[in-house]
A and B are shown apart, each in its own frame.
Chain A
Amino acid sequence: VEWAVALHGGAGTISQDLPDSVRQQYYDGLEQAVRTGQIVLREGGSALDAVEQVVKNLEDNPLFNAGRGSVFTSEGTHELDAAIMDGSTMEAGALTGLTTVKNPVSLARIVMEQSNHIFFSGQGAEQYADQTDVQRVENDHFFTQNRYEQWQRAQEQSHLYSDTYRSIYESVNADKFG
């Protein structure tokens, strides 16, 4: 095998009752991401370019929980995390708590290649982004109606939990996804 690429868009309990149209959207999104990686690698591109481009494609697809389409925090905002690692050099870049970077994976690559560090968090990660030319967006860029409704249901349930006490593990277990 000269080259190979694999991708995921999250794991968990995925209803088998998805409407055919929605099911097809997921297959189409995955196909598009696979093609993105295929094109990079077939043309002789690097594994690093392939994983960045594939993840960017998935971040821009509102069906998946990354970039546009990310879930909501308890405060009703979006906080994004990303990491990238180059197996040929063991170099890595990672970020957590980003709020205005359109494609966190690309900033992770900049961290890896241009900074002396590996991992930035929260406000520091945003300040690092200010020193780069990565595309910035308002936090509501990541909004999708589906995730908003999911968050509202989670909020309602969390109030119920506080009344009847459930452990964090039970709570997470009930709604973990990707």
Chain B
Amino acid sequence: TVGAVALDMNGNLAAATSTGGMTNKQFGRVGDVPIIGSGTFANHVAAVSATGWGEKIMQQVSANTIANLVEFGGYSLQEAVDYLLEERLQPDEAGFIAVDSEGNIVMNMNTPGMFRGSIDSRGNKEVKIWIEE
């Protein structure tokens, strides 16, 4: 699975996700990626793209829940992503990338690794694979 989230100069947010699915998948199985609100979501508060075990990500309506925690729960983007990863999902199930309307970027996972990268207008840049990098 691949995904991207962005904030532009006009303050608009967007998210996109694309996948080949799960190896050896059967019977028209569909994961979280094309389910708006689960694997992909954006509004005026946050943009989120997910990756991992699709069924688990769907059960938590994950991407929308992250945005809702920020909008209605008073969570920071980091706290919202961490809440999903630590309280709603089990270890080894998912990773999220997210950006909020202030340009805060969060890339976190409860798996050993996630291919990920980010950059912002201040020149903050990250390209990482494993969690402990």
Chain B: number of interface residues, binned into ranges: 35 or more
Judge whether B87 is part of the interface by a CB distance below 8 angstroms. Answer: no
Q: Are A71 and B35 in contact (CB under 8 A)?
A: no
Interface of B is mostly: strand
Q: Are A79 and B40 in contact (CB under 8 A)?
A: no
- Distance in angstroms between the alpha carbons of A26 and B129 in the assembled complex: 8
Judge whether A124 is part of the interface by a CB distance below 8 angstroms. Answer: no
- Distance in angstroms between the alpha carbons of A70 and B33 in the assembled complex: 14
Q: Are A55 and B120 in contact (CB under 8 A)?
A: no
Residues from chain B with a CB closer than 8 A to the CB of A176 are 22, 52-53
Q: Looking at the assembled complex, report how far the CB atom of B54 sits from the nearest CB atom of chain A, in whole angstroms.
A: 8
Q: Looking at the assembled complex, report how far the CB atom of A117 sits from the nearest CB atom of chain B, in whole angstroms.
A: 12
Residues of B within 8 A of A (CB): 1-10, 12-26, 28, 30-31, 33-36, 39-47, 49, 51-53, 55, 92, 94-95, 97-99, 102-107, 109, 111-122, 125, 127, 129-130
Sample 9 A-B pairs with CB under 8 A, ordered by A number: A7-B5, A10-B2, A11-B109, A11-B114, A26-B115, A82-B34, A83-B16, A87-B44, A176-B53
